[in-house]
A and B are shown apart, each in its own frame.
Chain A
Amino acid sequence: MIIVEHASKRYVKYDDTPMLATRLMRLHQRSERSELWAVRDADFTVQGGTCLGVIGRNGSGKSTLLRMLAGVTAPTTGRVAVGGRVAPLIAVGVGFHPELTGRENVYVSGAILGLRRPDIDRRFDEIVAFAELEKFIDTPVKFYSSGMFVRLGFAVSVAVEPDVLVVDEVLAVGDLAFQLRCIERMVAIREAGATVVVVSHNMNAIRRMCDRVLVLHDGLTRHDGDAASAIATFHDLLGEQREMDGNGLDGGDVEVDRHGEVERFELLGADGAPARHVAVGEECTAELRVRFERDVAGCLVGATVLSEWGVQAYGETSDWADLHGFTAGQVATFRMRFRAQLAGGSYSLHAGVVLPSGVHLTPIPVPVQFYVDGRSRVNGIADLDGRFDVVTE
Chain B
Amino acid sequence: MTIRGETGFDLGGGPVPARELLGDLWRARELIGILSRKEFLVRYRRTSFGLIWAVALPLLQAIVLAVVLEKFVRFDTAGNYVVFAFAGTVVWTFFANALTGGVGSVTDNSGLSSKIYFPRAVFPIVSTLSGLYGLGITLIVLAGLSAATGDGIGVRLFLLVPATALLVVLATSLAAVAAALQVYFRDVRWIVTAILMPLFYLTPVIYPLDAPEVDSVRRVVQLNPVTGVVEAFRAATTGAEAGAASTVWVTLGWTVLAVSAAVALYRRHDRVLVDLL
Q: Which residues does chain B contribute within 8 Å of A107, judged by CB atoms?
A: 34
A23 within 8 A of B: yes
In the complex with contacts A75-B11, A79-B10, A100-B271 CB distance below 8 A: no
Across the interface, B38 reaches (CB within 8 A) one of A76, A81, A108, namely A108
Q: Is B112 touching A94 in the complex (CB atoms < 8 A)?
A: yes
Q: Which A residue sits closest to B3, measured CB to CB?
A: A83
Bound-state CA distance A112–B32 (Å) is 9
Find A75's partner among B8, B12, B186, B276 (CB 8 Å cutoff).
B12
* Complex-state Cα separation, A75 to B11, whole angstroms: 7
Q: How far is the CA of A97 from the CA of B112 in the complex (A)?
A: 12
Binary interface encoding of chain A residues 226-250 relative to chain B, with 1 for a CB under 8 A from any of its CBs, else 0: 0000000000000000000000000
B51 at the interface (CB under 8 A from A): no
Interchain CB contact under 8 A, B3 and A99: no
The reply on A311 being an interface residue by CB < 8 A is no
Structural contact, B42 and A97, CB atoms closer than 8 A: yes
Q: CB within 8 Å of B: which of A93-118? A: 94-95, 97, 99-100, 104, 107-108, 111-114, 116-117
Q: How far is the CA of A344 from the CA of B264 in the complex (A)?
A: 52
Give the residues in chain B near A77, CB-CB below 8 Å: 12-13
Judging by beta carbons under 8 Å apart, are A73 and B272 in contact? yes
A74 to B185, Cβ gap below 8 A? no
The distance from the CB of B66 to the nearest CB of chain A, in whole angstroms, is 35
Please state if B112 and A71 are interface contacts (CB–CB under 8 Å): no
Across the two chains, which residue of chain B brings its CB closest to A72? B117
Within 8 Å CB of A72, what residues of B? 113-117, 271, 274
Min CB distance A143 to B, Å, is 12
In the complex, are the beta carbons of A74 and B187 less than 8 A apart?
no
Q: Is A88 an interface residue (CB 8 A)?
A: yes
Complex Cα distance, B115 from A87, in Å, reads 10
B71 at the interface (CB under 8 A from A): no
Inside 8 A of B112's CB, which chain A residues have their CB? 94-95, 112
B6 to chain A, nearest CB (A): 9
Q: In the complex, A116 Cα to B27 Cα: how many Å?
A: 10
Bound form: Cα–Cα A74–B120 in Å: 13
Chain B residues near A163 (CB-CB < 8 A): 7-8
Query: Given contacts A19-B185, A79-B12, A117-B34, could you give 14 more A-B pairs where the C-beta distance is less than 8 Å?
Result: A18-B184, A18-B185, A20-B185, A67-B114, A68-B11, A73-B272, A77-B12, A78-B12, A83-B4, A84-B5, A97-B42, A100-B45, A112-B116, A114-B31
- Which 9 interchain pairs have the tightest Cβ spacing? A83-B3, A74-B271, A81-B10, A85-B7, A20-B185, A71-B117, A74-B11, A99-B45, A111-B34
* 18 A-B contacts (beta carbon < 8 Å): A19-B185, A68-B11, A70-B117, A71-B9, A72-B115, A73-B275, A80-B9, A81-B10, A81-B11, A82-B10, A83-B8, A88-B116, A94-B112, A100-B45, A111-B30, A111-B34, A112-B116, A114-B7
B interface with A by C-beta (< 8 Å): 1, 3-5, 7-13, 30-31, 34-35, 38, 41-42, 45-46, 112-118, 184-188, 271-272, 274-276
Residues of A within 8 A of B (CB): 1, 3, 11, 17-21, 23, 67-68, 70-88, 90, 94-95, 97, 99-100, 104, 107-108, 111-114, 116-117, 163
